[in-house]
Amino acid sequence: MPAHHQSLTWSKNMSEHHKSQGKRLARRESALKKADPRLKIIAVVVWSFLLALTEQIGAAMAGLAGSVILAMISGLPAKDILKRLLTVNFFILFLWLVLPFSFSYPGEVMARLGPLEITRQGLRLTCLLTIKGNAVALGAIAFFGASSVFELTAAARRLGAPEKMTAIFVLMFRYVQVIGQECARLRLAMKARGFKPSMSMHSYRSYANLIGMILIRSLDRASRIHAAMRCRGYNGRFWLSGEFNFKKIDWALGSLMILLICGVLAFAFV
Amino acid sequence: MPSSESLIALKNIDFSYPDGRRVFSDLNLIFRDGQKAGLAGLNGCGKTTLLSVIMGLLYPQRGEVEIFGRARREEKDFKEIRAQMGFVFQDANDQLFCPTVADDIAFGPLNLGASRKEADLIVEKTLALLRLEGFGPRVTYDLSGGEKKLVSIGTALALNPRLLILDEPTTSLDEKTVARLEQILNDCGLPYIIASHDRSFLARTTHLVWTMTEGRLVEG
């Protein structure tokens, strides 16, 4: 049985808006979507480590170019990719607030910004981290954005990820949605009885009750799920289907990755 | 001699919850091979609790649980026979925990030692019985409520059980799905116990009905 999951992406557990977006992302049949998920995992790990260890601006730029190529063949809409990159760059913004200045990175002073001194070494490091961060994130988005979570989990299991970890991951993913719906229903019920959030003790108490109720219900549900699993002979093995085979497209993708890696290494050492 | 082998026999069962609430006192039940039985009663009268006692998910304080002709007292006793009693939980979301329909139906058979190939065959056969051909790769949480219920019955049928036990199977199903459910129960040819407060559904699907009143079962 092929591990072919319909229209499922990692954004599934987010809001409805994201959900429909995710469905749209995964439906496109790009080369990266069709590739063997095991290859995708290995490619992302190798690519990320390679870029993370890069110390030359040139090599990092080459890596970023490689990631852009991967993003282009991923078939994901540019708008969605940029949205995700924006989140990453929000964190990188904090680096720019601190790192280029002499108080955090002493060195040769290039310019002054009021009382602050910008150092050449600090600026270089910030640029390097920005490029590397974007390159790694873009590569991961390109590979994982075009896969279903369960496909990737099954592949990770096949690659030797611990059974417990994959089981926890699959169950979490399955029930985040169910618990989310429960939470939405409870909130709706609160609204239906005229609840308006405000800065009052009543509001805080109501929210505390809501959270408590969700925790209790989740605990109850967990024990019912466990009972249901035991009723079907559960004995610690968590089965994930998915036969993977290396296809032509995987050879092509593998070759492309080797080329990109060689490119980055060439910039790093030449 | 009984007319046919008793699959389940509960003898003088007492059960109370940890908070002291008494649910059964001196409850008796005999369920024989070939029977189609209903378990009726008001909300909260202990139908689910009774089914949990049968499945060995809860233990009575007194009395004997005998399943397939042997007394069952501890987890070890139940573990070997639980999968032979296809139990369908009230909430399909509790029963279906795998990514896809095929994964969920294959879960039981794989636990029981089937090879991947055999499990795939069972999945196909089960989906055919449910008339849900082609549903294998569907993601379970994208199914409608009715489809979820049918698939969760499929996960029980895939165990190749000696009987089925269904807890409130008609809850929040539309008439069309209820009709399909009746068809499946009729087609599977297994003896079953259905807990339900829906008397008319029980009248259509079962031959005898026990009613739970004051911690005991009364026929009719």
| Residue A237 within a domain | no
| Residue A120 within a domain | yes
Structure tokens at B111: 């636990």
* ipTM confidence score: 0.84
Strand bridging mode B216-219 / A109-113: unpaired
Report pLDDT for A31.
Answer: 73
CA atoms within 13 A on the CB side of A141: 29
Residues of chain A with a CB closer than 8 angstroms to some CB in chain B: 1-2, 4-8, 150, 153, 170-171, 174-175, 177-178, 221, 224-225, 227-235, 237, 239-241
Q: Is A224 within 8 Å of B141 when comparing Cβ atoms?
A: no
| Residue A86 within a domain | yes
- Whether residue B142 lies within 8 A of chain A, CB to CB, comes out as yes
**Based on the domain organization, do A94 and A197 belong to the same domain?**
no
CA atoms within 13 A on the CB side of A223: 8
**Based on the domain organization, do A219 and A200 belong to the same domain?**
yes
Total Cβ atoms within 10 A of residue B32: 15
Report pLDDT for A194.
Answer: 87
Residue of chain A whose Cα is closest to the Cα of B75: A230
Shortest CA gap A180–chain B (Å) = 13
**Based on the domain organization, do A24 and A132 belong to the same domain?**
yes
Query: Using a CB-CB distance cutoff of 8 angstroms, which residues of chain B are in contact with residue A239?
Result: 98, 103, 106-107, 110-111
Residue of chain A whose Cα is closest to the Cα of B141: A174
User: Which of A6, A228, A234 is opposite residue B139, by nearest beta carbon?
Assistant: A6
Return d(Cα A228, Cα A239) in angstroms, integer. 15
**Based on the domain organization, do A25 and A95 belong to the same domain?**
yes
Shortest CA gap A241–chain B (Å) = 6
State the burial class of residue A251 (Cβ atoms within 10 Å of its Cβ: 0-12, 13-18, 19+): exposed
CA atoms within 13 A on the CB side of B174: 5
Report pLDDT for A34.
Answer: 80
Report pLDDT for A14.
Answer: 36
Whether the CB-CB separation of B175 and B17 falls below 8 Å is answered with: no
Report pLDDT for B3.
Answer: 56
Dihedral, A202, A208, A213, A214 alpha carbons, nearest 10: 130
**pLDDT tens digit sequence for B92-113:** 999 999 888 999 999 999 999 8
Residue B1 confidence class, pLDDT cut points 50, 70, 90: very low
Whether this model's pTM surpasses 0.80: no
Return d(Cα B156, Cα B190) in angstroms, integer. 12
Secondary structure string (H, E, C) spanning chain B? CCCCCEEEEEEEEEEECCCCCEEEEEEEEEEECCCEEEEECCCCCCHHHHHHHHHCCCCCCEEEEEECCEECCCHHHHHCCHHHEEEECCCHHHHCCCCEHHHHHHHHHHHCCCCHHHHHHHHHHHHHHCCCCCCCCCEHHHCCHHHHHHHHHHHHHCCCCCEEEEECCCCCCCHHHHHHHHHHHHHHCCCEEEECCCHHHHHHHCCEEEEEECCEEEEC
Report pLDDT for B40.
Answer: 95
Report pLDDT for A3.
Answer: 38
Residue of chain A whose Cα is closest to the Cα of B82: A231
| Residue A236 within a domain | no
Q: Is B57 within 8 Å of A1 when comparing Cβ atoms?
A: no
| Residue A4 within a domain | no
Q: Is A237 within 8 Å of B123 when comparing Cβ atoms?
A: no
- Whether residue B171 lies within 8 A of chain A, CB to CB, comes out as no
**Based on the domain organization, do A36 and A124 belong to the same domain?**
yes
| Residue A76 within a domain | yes
Identify any residues that bridge with B193 across adjacent strands, giving them in sequence order.
Answer: B37, B165
Report pLDDT for A221.
Answer: 93
| Residue A224 within a domain | yes
Total count of domains within chain A: 2
Rounded alpha-carbon distances, angstroms, from residue B12 to A57, A121, A230, B27: 80, 83, 26, 5
**pLDDT tens digit sequence for A116-152:** 889 999 999 999 999 999 999 999 999 988 788 888 8
Contacts of B33 (CB under 8 A, 6+ apart): B4, B5, B6, B7, B162, B163, B191
Q: Is B87 within 8 Å of A8 when comparing Cβ atoms?
A: no
Report pLDDT for A242.
Answer: 66
**Based on the domain organization, do A60 and A188 belong to the same domain?**
no
**Based on the domain organization, do A166 and A184 belong to the same domain?**
yes
**Based on the domain organization, do A149 and A166 belong to the same domain?**
no
- Whether residue B124 lies within 8 A of chain A, CB to CB, comes out as no
**Based on the domain organization, do A203 and A258 belong to the same domain?**
no
Q: Is B141 within 8 Å of A174 when comparing Cβ atoms?
A: yes
Helices A37-53 and A120-144, interaxial angle, to 10°? 180
| Residue A127 within a domain | yes
Query: Using a CB-CB distance cutoff of 8 angstroms, which residues of chain B are in contact with residue A4?
Result: 137
Residue of chain B whose Cα is closest to the Cα of A237: B111
**Based on the domain organization, do A191 and A100 belong to the same domain?**
no
Q: Is A149 helix (H, G, I), strand (E, B) or coil?
A: helix
- Whether residue B177 lies within 8 A of chain A, CB to CB, comes out as no
**Based on the domain organization, do A49 and A174 belong to the same domain?**
no
Residue of chain B whose Cα is closest to the Cα of A241: B103
Q: Is A237 within 8 Å of B110 when comparing Cβ atoms?
A: yes
Query: Using a CB-CB distance cutoff of 8 angstroms, which residues of chain A are in contact with residue B156?
Result: 232
Report pLDDT for B158.
Answer: 95
Whether the CB-CB separation of A141 and A76 falls below 8 Å is answered with: yes
**pLDDT tens digit sequence for B24-60:** 999 999 999 999 999 999 888 899 999 999 999 999 9
Tell me which residues of chain A have a pLDDT lower than 70: 1-29, 242
Shortest CA gap B166–chain A (Å) = 12
**Based on the domain organization, do A114 and A225 belong to the same domain?**
no
Q: Which domains are seen in chain B, by residue range? A: 6-219 (3.40.50.300)
Return d(Cα A74, Cα A256) in angstroms, integer. 13
Q: Is B142 within 8 Å of A6 when comparing Cβ atoms?
A: yes
Q: Is B112 within 8 Å of A7 when comparing Cβ atoms?
A: no
Return d(Cα B70, Cα A40) in angstroms, integer. 52
Q: Domain of residue A135: give its range.
A: 10-156+243-269
